[in-house]
Amino acid sequence: MNKHNYVAIMAGGIGSRFWPMSRTGYPKQFLDILNTGKTLIQQTFERYQKLVPTENIYIITSAEYIPIVKKQLPKVADQNILGEPSRKNTAPCVAYISFKLFQKDPKSLLVIAPADHLVLESDEFVETSKKALHFAEHHDALITLGIKPTHPNTGYGYIQHGVESVADDFYKVKTFTEKPNLDLAKTFLASGDFLWNSGIFIWKVKNILTAFEKYLSTMYEMFAAEKEKLNTSKEAAALEKIYPQCTNISIDFGIMEKAANVFVLPASFGWSDLGTWNSVWDNMEKDYFENAVIGKNVMIVDDTKCTVHVPDNKLAVLQGLDNFIVIDTKDVLLICKRDKEQEVKEYVAEVKRNKGDKYL
């Protein structure tokens, strides 16, 4: 393993589209959504242990989740669990780990990835990541892994790439498109030059810092002014000074959509971002009538194509439901049509307006 290769796992989100299982105090990355016996962040951590030394894996999370991370990932040293003082999207998160690593190891290469994605083919994933790291080491490139699409999914972002590969299956990125409507997604699929945006990035740390200086100069300057305090006892105080001034912006919008040296590596390793309950349905075993059920005491009567998640200690009898999501927790029951799942965030906002934070 290359001692200059590092991984940063982003684990600070609240996963509101997985409400009511995912809550603000215990979001989806810390849950065993698919009933595998391991949480999503545990699965992600174990994948990356095959790629870099454990001591080179960092977890970036909200400060309030540090105790959960320590409990679920006891092999990660305390100094590798980084707590952000506030949620400001992914660009400040990337700037933080990049400045921190560059102070420690100017030759560092970084894989940065979300904590809550599903990868079914772990070995293929590791080989793809190695290939991307090798390319990043020898080129001035900001790399993203693009997933070969299997259907016109409207819940993913898309990456359009050039026709000819520049080298070793890497392509120059032409455009990024956020979640398209169904007709546009079908057009993308038919064109053959669009991939799903996995949100997994690989680069030399010095190259991403150069991009920050060019495209997010104010954020760059704020971190640069405090960089000597990183990796010291003054780091937390420095973050408290920096973060309130940071723009709330994603690394995709802030840099990747603007930079000229962005490349994509098409990949296929059984990926899903597990962003919605329908993506859970896609990745679960189903009965004869295509119901995906978690719960030892669920009785299905004339139901089809439902996603059901019920605690093992509760009996649930469901009759006559077609294409529904049924999620039961100790204090919330959600029943909604599967084609309305993108509106779960709106339901959460409505609950907050009417019931406060009690059920969030």
Q: What is the pLDDT of residue 16?
A: 82
Q: What is the pLDDT of residue 164?
A: 80
Note the CATH number of domain 5-272. Answer: 3.90.550.10
Q: What is the pLDDT of residue 151?
A: 86
For the segment 314-357, what is each residue's pLDDT rounded down to a tens digit? 999 999 999 999 999 999 999 999 988 878 888 999 999 999 99
∠ Cα 292 295 299 (to 5°): 75
| Beta-bridge partners for 117 | none
**Domain range summary for the chain, segments of one domain joined by +:** 5-272, 277-355
Question: 336-344 contacts: CB < 8 A, separation 24 or more?
Answer: 338/277, 338/278, 338/281, 338/305, 338/306, 338/307, 341/17, 341/276, 341/277, 341/278, 342/17, 342/155, 342/276, 344/16, 344/17, 344/18, 344/19, 344/276, 344/277
Between residues 315 and 2, which one has the greater pLDDT? Answer: 315
Helix (H) or strand (E) holding 198: strand 194-204
Least trusted range by pLDDT, from 117-121, 188-192, 244-248: 188-192
Q: What average pLDDT is seen over the chain?
A: 93
For the segment 197-224, what is each residue's pLDDT rounded down to a tens digit? 999 999 999 999 999 999 999 999 999 9
What CA–CA distance (Å, rounded) separates 313 from 184?
A: 44
Q: What is the pLDDT of residue 1?
A: 65
Please spell the DSSP secondary structure of 67-135, one letter per residue.
Answer: HHHHHH-TTS-GGGEEEESS---HHHHHHHHHHHHHHH-TT-EEEEEESS-EES-HHHHHHHHHHHHHH
CB atoms within 10 A of CB 25: 11
Q: What percent of the chain has pLDDT over 90?
A: 78
154 class by beta-carbon count within 10 Å (0-12 exposed, 13-18 middle, 19+ buried): middle
Q: What is the pLDDT of residue 155?
A: 81
- Is the pLDDT score of 273 beyond 90? no
CB atoms within 10 A of CB 52: 21
pTM of the model: 0.93
* Confidence tier at 244 by pLDDT (50, 70, 90): very high
For the segment 254-272, what is each residue's pLDDT rounded down to a tens digit? 999 999 999 999 999 999 8
CB 252 within 8 A of CB 175: no
3-state secondary structure 298-322: EEEECCECCEEECCCCCCEEEECCE
For the segment 140-172, what is each residue's pLDDT rounded down to a tens digit? 999 999 999 888 888 888 999 988 878 889 999
- Is the pLDDT score of 358 beyond 70? yes
CB 90 within 8 A of CB 10: yes
| Beta-bridge partners for 318 | 300
Q: What is the mean pLDDT of residues 98-102?
A: 97
Nearest Cα to 253, choosing from 184, 194, 175?
175
